[in-house]
Structure 1
Amino acid sequence: MEKTVRVRFAPSPTGFLHLGGARTSLFNWAYARKMGGVFILRIEDTDVARSTNESVEVILDSLRWLGFNWDEGPEVDGPYKPYYQSMRLPLYQEQIQKLLQTGKAYRCFCTAEELAERREKAMAEGKNWRYDRKCLQLSPTEVETRLNQGASSVVRFLIPEGETSFIDMLRGDVTFNNVELDDFVLLKSDGMPTYNFACVVDDAQMKITHVIRGDDHISNTPRQVLLYKALGFPVPQYAHIPMILGKDKTRLSKRHGSPSVTYYRDKGYLPDAMVNYLARLSWASGEEEKEIFTRQEIIERFSLDQVSKHSAVFDLDKLNWMNSVYIREANQSVLVQILIEILIREQIIKPD
């Protein structure tokens, strides 16, 4: 019996939901619906300094506007709650202890200043800098003594020798030499987990079967695969989708038109038009002449096999054209309601 497909969209609440994140959530949502699976929303809010409740609300509002209803996550809960990483700290501590006890991780007491000094020395000598494992040499007694004295520390993962491979659903076999990887930090000195560690623990415990995310995460994947194996968790399937670029072939930013979903909502773009446009960035159904797809058509046709490995180019003119098609076909009462919502948000009129 095949496992139920379980995918997730896991934004960090440090700002608006940008178009790249919106397309990632769309591909996860469409894949889950196509496969009869589960779409999970998880808030990765371990960056205490930058995460805000306002950003959480903006992200939730943006996903609701796009119509990407989640099956598990904030406001709906589910069997693996809580779905905020900041509320899952005991789970991370449990797995950290497992890695420490099995010798797959170790305490590091090096200060930022010490690391900077050794890094600069290595670079001055023309060497590539990777953590030199100074603290790996500490005995258990020395570690315990320093902790009892209140010394600040992080926990690092001990990278094994050899190579790490995984199969990307878009690229095929991908292999990294472990020499290229650093003994990266799992737990920061303030007790908060790093992205790679929390991501693996949560994906494993939430039984994620497919990780569909941007290709800027490819370099994180070998580290995460090693963590899955060290913790004894099954490794999910990966699909790294290409980035969205501006017409000048640089990463999409405000100079190409605002990259946030709420900007387009507030300018009167229709959610169906935005979903249709985002779906067409790097995904092709094989129907060359067809540009307009309903949500149901996207779900029925969607396949990761048809997602390109090459970066998509954001074309505001095409989005405007697509939006005009949807506006012409929309029911007048729907357009009136959208206009009222915009006027209320702009505080031009008051809600009833």
Structure 2
Amino acid sequence: METVGRFAPSPSGRIHLGNILCALLVWLSARQKGGKVVLRIEDLDTARCPRRYADQMEDDLRWLGLSWDEGPGVGGPDGPYYQSERTALYQAALEKLEQKGLVYPCFCTRAELHAASAPHREDGQVVYAGTCRTLTQEEAAEKAKKRPPALRLRVPEKVWGFTDGHMGPYEEHLARDCGDFLLRRSDGMFAYQLAVVVDDAAMGVTEVVRGADLLDSTPRQLYLYDLLGLTPPVFYHFPLLLTSDGRRLSKRNADAGLDVLRDRSTAAEILGKLAYLAGFNPSAAPKTAEELLKDFDWDKVPTEDIRIPEGLF
């Protein structure tokens, strides 16, 4: 079976070093196996992700030498490659789950979800307490007169585990560790968990490479793959890049954004330094993506978060 990797950024601003590392690892992992790369733009939140950001991101990836075989500007058999144009597919999957009797309306506000009494995980995320799970049709209809509902998926009292291609075994008890999760928000926007499963399956993705901050999403997604009768990909989660003082990179880290880096570095300099931090470039010497192929090995990539030394970039 041909390896199909994908890079699926959310274009809410200029890409930073963490996004570039993800794109590089996606590209290397797929290309080393003789596979192809799909670029998908995850712009469900069109207010935060205007098309000009996606266009700039595509230009940045080309400048970095991280080409793709299917996606915007290239085409392919499984388009469109913007999530904002794929909502009919998510609706069809939602209806399939509704037919199984697993979807219910939720009227909880954000404040209620984050109330002090609500269950929280160690990382601060709220575990949904099932407040609306037992509403009768009459009670839900009455609430709907005042507030449009979100839609949640019932999860079982079951441990869902898998072996990550890089991080190793991981499992979660769905009911205890995440609770019934969103499929569609109250404003009608489909949730990430549903959209990413539908899209990866429809686009024939066989391996998903992404940051370790999404590791705990995987059991939920595997549950959805099972319910929808879809074949899941292999997952590879990699450690996050941190600033020199230990903060997670974000689009607010202006000095780590490609708008700044392109003015003072070549693409090979950026990729060479990232590969050095990720363990498969013996020094921080400039390397193109093609040149890094021979040295890339998942066994060389650390499993702990990576701090960027002050002044490296």
Letter in 2 for 1:206: M
Q: Matched residues, percent identical?
A: 38
Return the offset for 1:250: 2.8
| 1:187 corresponding residue in structure 2 | 184
Matched, 1:306 2:300: yes
Secondary structure of 1:156's aligned partner: strand
Aligned to 1:169: 165
Superposed counterparts of 1:64-213, under 5 Å: 64-112=62-110, 115=113, 119-122=115-118, 130-139=127-136, 145=141, 152-178=148-174, 179-213=176-210
Match of 1:337 in 2: none
Q: Would you say the 8 A contact 1:166–1:173 is kept in 2?
A: yes
Cα distance, 1:87 vs structure 2: 0.2
Report how far residue 141 of structure 1 moved: 6.8
Distance in 2 (CA, whole Å) between partners of 1:211 and 1:283 is: 20
The aligned counterpart of 1:348 is none
State the alpha-carbon separation in 2 of the partners of residues 129 and 242 from structure 1.
23
| 8 Å Cα contact 2:276-2:284 kept in structure 1 | no
Cα 1:142–1:59 change in 2 (3 A) is same
* 1:16 CA displacement: 0.6
2: CA distance, partners of 1:44 / 1:154: 20
Q: Is the 8 A contact 2:24 2:289 kept in 1?
A: no
Moved more, 169-178 or 252-261: 252-261
Deviation (angstroms), 1:308: 1.2
| CA spacing shift, 1:294–1:59, aligned 2, 3 Å | closer
Aligned with 2:2: secondary structure?
Answer: coil
Question: 1:96-152, CA deviations, whole angstroms, 9 ceiling, x for partnerless residues?
Answer: 000011022222234456556xx34557xxxx9643334332445765x56996951
Q: Across the two proteins, how many residue pairs are aligned to each other? A: 307
Query: How far apart, CA to CA, are the structure 1 residues paired with 2:249 and 2:109?
Result: 36
SS at match of 1:239: strand
Q: Which has the larger radius of gyration?
A: 1
What per-residue deviation string (whole Å, max 9, x for no partner) do you get for residues 195-223 of structure 1? 11111111111111111111111121121
SS in 2 for 1:301: coil
Distance in 2 of aligned mates of 1:100 and 1:199? 18
**TM-score, normalising length from structure 1?**
0.79
Q: Which residue of 2 aligns with 1:45?
A: 43
Cα gap change, 1:122 to 1:241, in 2 (>3 Å): closer
More helix as a share of residues = 1
Residue 41 (structure 1) shift? 0.7
Partner of 1:295: 289
Q: TM-score, normalised by structure 2?
A: 0.88
Cα distance in 2 for partners of 1:113, 1:173 equals: 35
Aligned match of 1:223: 220
Unaligned runs of 5+ in 2: 120-124
Matching residue of 2:25: 27
| Structure 1 residues 205 and 147, CA gap change in structure 2 (3 angstroms) | farther
Amino acid at match of 1:166: F
Secondary structure at the residue paired with 2:223? helix
- In angstroms, what is the RMSD of aligned CA positions? 2.6
State the shift of 1:303 in Å.
2.2
Alpha-carbon shift at residue 315 of structure 1 (Å): 3.1
